[in-house]
Amino acid sequence: MRKYLNFIDGQWCNAISGQTFDAINPAKGEPFARIAKGSRQDAQKAIAAANAAQSLWRKVPLWERAALCHKMAELVVQYEKDLADILCTELGKPRHGEAIDEAREVATNFRQAAELAKFLEGQTIPTQDPHKRVLTFRQPRGVIAVITPWNFPAAIATEYLPHAIVMGNTVVWTPAPTAAATAVVLMEIIARAGLPKGVINLVLGPGNEVGDELVINRSTHAIGMTGSPKTGLTISSRAGLKPKLMELGGNGPTIILPDADPVKAAQMIAPACFYAAGQVCSCAERILVADNLKQDFVDEMIRQARSWVQGDPWDTNVNMGPQNSMMVVDKMTAHLLDASAKGAKILVGGGRPKLPGFFYEPTVLVDYAIDSLVNKEETFGPIAPIAAFKNDQQAWDYINACDFGLVSAVFTRDVDKAWQWADNLRTGITVVNDFTNYWELHIPFGGMSGTQSGLGRIGGRHTLEFMSDLKTIAFNIG
């Protein structure tokens, strides 16, 4: 089996301890490679390399840093097959759909960061004092700690990496252990662009060691992280006053109002339940449908669920891969058992198919109670939980029982109602008459204040702004 290594100060290297762990193919439940198991010592080595590189990298002109990002995008396109192959192998993403789509998104992230950075303008500020001239501009923060999840391990990594380096920062990046091989393949591709040593460092290993060291070490200066609310809270408690950009998941509601077309709505919502086997933070994990539309909507959702094909992710007929691990499978099972015990009914799916690995059937669940785990927590599996409401207040009771605030959706033909609901839903994004998974890479994406869904906004210039400090200079002109 191939061994995947850390990348520190421009060199591929084993973990200092020499330890490794298995990379598991979730479609088979079997190991396919060995991963260098980094520790605090490896993280410290990478942080030192990033700091040594930063003093020179920040002085490289922005246009040169942007050109390097464009070269990385070209290489991602050139080696697109390699990236799609490892996404299929390590994550079980259907090769001819999800995997190739994610590989192409990576190139777009590099290109957008490169161009948008050129338009982050400062300003001159009027002053009361006639002898002063005040201006602002952006400077690098320093060393950015980047911590990424397993569900979109290449795409989400490049929601941070190119934005960090184009703004003159250096990076120490640690991925989720179950996506470590994908991180190495991506790092191999972008290192071919002629990346100066120490500008991006990759350390593989457990979050409670490698990730924690990146968070607490005084020589990292900001943190970009996508992951769970639990991990986000841990980071917040450990990071002190470091700036943090964190996208922490969601359980946003999808609301179908009485005047909507239930069949059309179901056809649009189903991909937000079953795409990527439901392992998307913006999934439609709880669906509230007006009572008068319930039967037609449920019937169509059942048809949609039965149309998804599971199996070997290399098969061109397959459009749903496995869950990431048994931990994700077990959570799906626990949420369904909880909902069933409280009166919900499983109409299709609800178990594991007769396949190897960590697959779970596309599932339609109806009549879940307001205190069910599917209503209060993020399930992160291929589930369409449906509850009917007789009036707006009943719908709001369900919505307010959960304190996630990432994405929501509203289906209605009434423009006034669409605006009223969109204005009042406490989510960072509300999509009208489309599924919750809608997003484009330059659009601000993140959780509403006071919820579990994170801090700040990723996406285009919003990420670039986070990756820089706003510097103010006041001139006394006499």
Q: Is 377 a catalytic residue?
A: no
Could you tell me which of 126, 131, 124, 127 has the C-alpha nearest to residue 477?
A: 131
Other Cβ atoms less than 10 A from the Cβ of 128: the count is: 5
Among candidate residues 273, 281, 283, 402, the one labeled active-site is 281
247 and 281 Cβ atoms separated by less than 8 Å: yes
Among candidate residues 247, 361, 377, 378, the one labeled active-site is 247
| 213: amino acid identity, one letter | E
Question: What pairing do the DSSP bridges indicate for beta strands 244-247 and 454-455?
Answer: antiparallel
In b/e form, how buried is each residue of 454-478, taking b as 16+ CB within 10 angstroms?
bbbbbbbbbbbbbbbeeeeeeeeee
136 and 84 Cβ atoms separated by less than 8 Å: no
Q: Is 74 a catalytic residue?
A: no
Question: What pairing do the DSSP bridges indicate for beta strands 286-290 and 253-256?
Answer: parallel
Q: How far apart are CA 266 and CA 332, in angstroms?
A: 22
Cite the active site residues.
247, 281
